[in-house]
């Protein structure tokens, strides 16, 4: 930095610290008289306990008061506590040294240890890239899950929603993708998870093989709504940092529904009117601004997988419907398939990869359409087939579907620890298509 730049910095330096005072606490909110601050700015609240400062964020203004929400609990905060403005939004430290580490929503080590050296500050909130600066998705990404690579091919930079009810295998599928994918690095956001499930996911679903090329960001269900939202923004910012370095990144967020629920909590706390199923307007504004940040850039790509919880297996509830409209495809995990022992329980007939026709040859697309037709015909006649009411020879296509159903199911099934490259999956698919023509 030369002398002129240093002088410019000094001229723009504000030597004053600005303070306000806590006026009252209402539910999740802290109302403060001052300080001068802006939306998204981080403030420190000096509590009644000696030398304790609680980090909070400005989320709104009302009647000349500043509305703050703390990142941690409200303990020891009382009327008259000083509120110190920092003039900065939340920034985290990012670098290659984070690979293999587990972080909290503010970018600190979850186990309380010190961050590695050599990291640089990076803001968690970024604007989505200019649409004209996004290269088109032209090449497939190997996922390592046969059903996806063969029937629902994903492109580098595609954004996919994984829609499922509880206990249908979302976390297991994410672990398989993290271990088997050809991406350079995984960024995994566990938002609103039970505390017990965090270690289970890291040790069982992700495993040492997956963790060594992953960064995990955790915000458990017992943490504040603000921390849960920041977990999603922190994971997205880490993905953007590595994308800018030229990496092919997988971002996996479990789940975007809990991010929306956290935003609903904040919206209701500051007085937003509830709309569809109690969700506030800010939820439907936040979702596209968050999800559009991933995808391709001039340097690298972020292929994103967002899990969406569907209450009562209702795939048309507001968050599922909104998310499906934003993303570039959706995978439906079907409870009935899981009950039959098919894992991963992906219903390929109800699932769509919107960029698939652009990234695979037409000959292979024809093969996939042929297999989908056979699957659909079998499903339409399954009840008749199971009770023995279908008579062979009645319909040649149904006859083919019955004959090839075990081979098709072999592609759609995969053990959690099995690794399969995309070429093997495609070869198996083409073999089934050849048999259907014979």
Percent of the chain with pLDDT over 70: 97
SS3 413: coil
pTM (predicted TM-score): 0.92
- The string of DSSP letters for 155-190 reads ETT-EEEEEE-TTSSHHHHHHHHHHH---SEEEEEE
Q: Which pLDDT band, with edges at 50, 70 and 90, does 17 fall under? A: confident
Tokens of 180: 């088997």
Burial letters 365-382, b for 16+ CB under 10 A, else e: eebbebbeebbebbeebe
Lowest mean pLDDT, pick from 81-85, 261-265, 382-386, 404-408: 382-386
Q: Which residues pair with 252 in a beta bridge?
A: 188, 305
- Per-residue pLDDT tens digits for 181-229: 999 999 999 999 888 889 999 999 999 999 999 999 999 999 999 999 9
- In this structure, the chain runs to a length of 438
Residue 438 clears pLDDT 70, i.e. is over it: no
Helical (H) or strand (E) element with 84: strand 82-89
Residue with tokens 């999603």: 232
Residue 271 clears pLDDT 70, i.e. is over it: yes
> Which whole number is the average pLDDT over 382-405?
87
Average pLDDT, the chain: 91
> Which whole number is the average pLDDT over 235-257?
96
- Residues 331, 125: Cα–Cα separation, whole Å: 28
Q: Which residues pair with 216 in a beta bridge?
A: 102, 188
What are the backbone dihedrals phi and psi of residue 329, each rounded to the nearest 5 degrees, phi first? Answer: 155, 165
Strands (E), 133-286: 140-141, 154-155, 159-164, 185-193, 214-220, 248-254
- Residues 46, 37: Cα–Cα separation, whole Å: 16
> Which whole number is the average pLDDT over 407-421?
88
What are the backbone dihedrals phi and psi of residue 119, each rounded to the nearest 5 degrees, phi first? Answer: -90, 160
The answer to whether the beta carbons of residues 87 and 14 sit under 8 Å apart is yes
- Per-residue pLDDT tens digits for 148-165: 999 999 999 999 999 998
Residue 1 clears pLDDT 80, i.e. is over it: no
């Amino acid at each position: 930095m030369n002398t002129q730049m240093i002088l410019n910095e000094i001229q723009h330096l504000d030597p004053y610290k600005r303070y306000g005072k806590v006026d009252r606490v209402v539910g999740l909110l802290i109302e403060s008289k001052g300080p001068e601050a802006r939306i998204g700015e981080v403030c420190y609240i000096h509590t009644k306990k000696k030398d304790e400062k609680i980090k909070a964020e400005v989320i709104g203004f009302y009647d000349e008061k500043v509305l703050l929400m703390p990142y941690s609990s409200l303990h020891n905060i009382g009327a008259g506590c000083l509120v110190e403005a920092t003039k900065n939004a939340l920034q985290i430290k990012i670098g290659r040294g984070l690979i293999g580490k587990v972080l909290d929503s503010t970018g600190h080590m979850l186990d309380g240890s010190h961050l590695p050296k050599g990291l640089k500050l990076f803001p968690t909130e970024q604007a989505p890239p200019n649409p004209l600066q996004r290269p088109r998705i032209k090449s497939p990404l190997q996922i390592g899950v046969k059903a996806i690579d063969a029937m629902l091919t994903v492109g580098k930079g595609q954004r996919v929603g994984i829609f499922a009810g509880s206990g249908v295998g979302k976390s297991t599928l994410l672990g398989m993708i993290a271990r088997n994918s050809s991406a350079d690095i995984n960024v995994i956001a566990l938002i609103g998870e039970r505390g017990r499930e965090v270690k289970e996911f890291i040790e069982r679903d992700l495993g040492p093989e997956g963790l060594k090329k992953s960064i995990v960001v955790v915000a458990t269900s017992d943490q504040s709504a603000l921390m849960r939202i920041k977990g999603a923004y922190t994971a997205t910012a880490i993905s953007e940092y590595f994308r800018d370095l030229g990496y092919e990144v997988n971002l996996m967020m479990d789940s975007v529904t809990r991010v929306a629920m956290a935003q609903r909590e904040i919206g209701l706390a500051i007085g937003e009117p509830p709309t569809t199923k109690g969700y506030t307007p800010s939820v439907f504004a936040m979702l596209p601004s968050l999800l559009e940040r991933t995808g391709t850039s001039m340097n690298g790509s972020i292929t994103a997988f967002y899990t969406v919880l569907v209450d009562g297996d209702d795939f048309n509830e507001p968050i599922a419907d909104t998310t499906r409209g934003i993303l570039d495809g959706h995978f439906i995990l079907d409870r009935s398939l899981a009950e039959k022992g098919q894992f991963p329980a992906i219903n390929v007939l109800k699932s769509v990869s919107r960029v698939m026709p652009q990234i695979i040859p037409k000959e292979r697309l024809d093969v996939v359409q042929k297999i989908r037709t056979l699957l659909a015909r079998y499903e339409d006649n399954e009840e008749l087939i199971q009770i023995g009411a279908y008579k062979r020879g009645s319909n040649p296509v149904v006859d083919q579907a019955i004959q090839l159903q075990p081979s098709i199911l072999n592609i759609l099934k995969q053990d959690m620890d099995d690794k399969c490259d995309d070429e093997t999956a495609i070869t198996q698919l083409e073999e089934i298509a050849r048999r259907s023509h014979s």
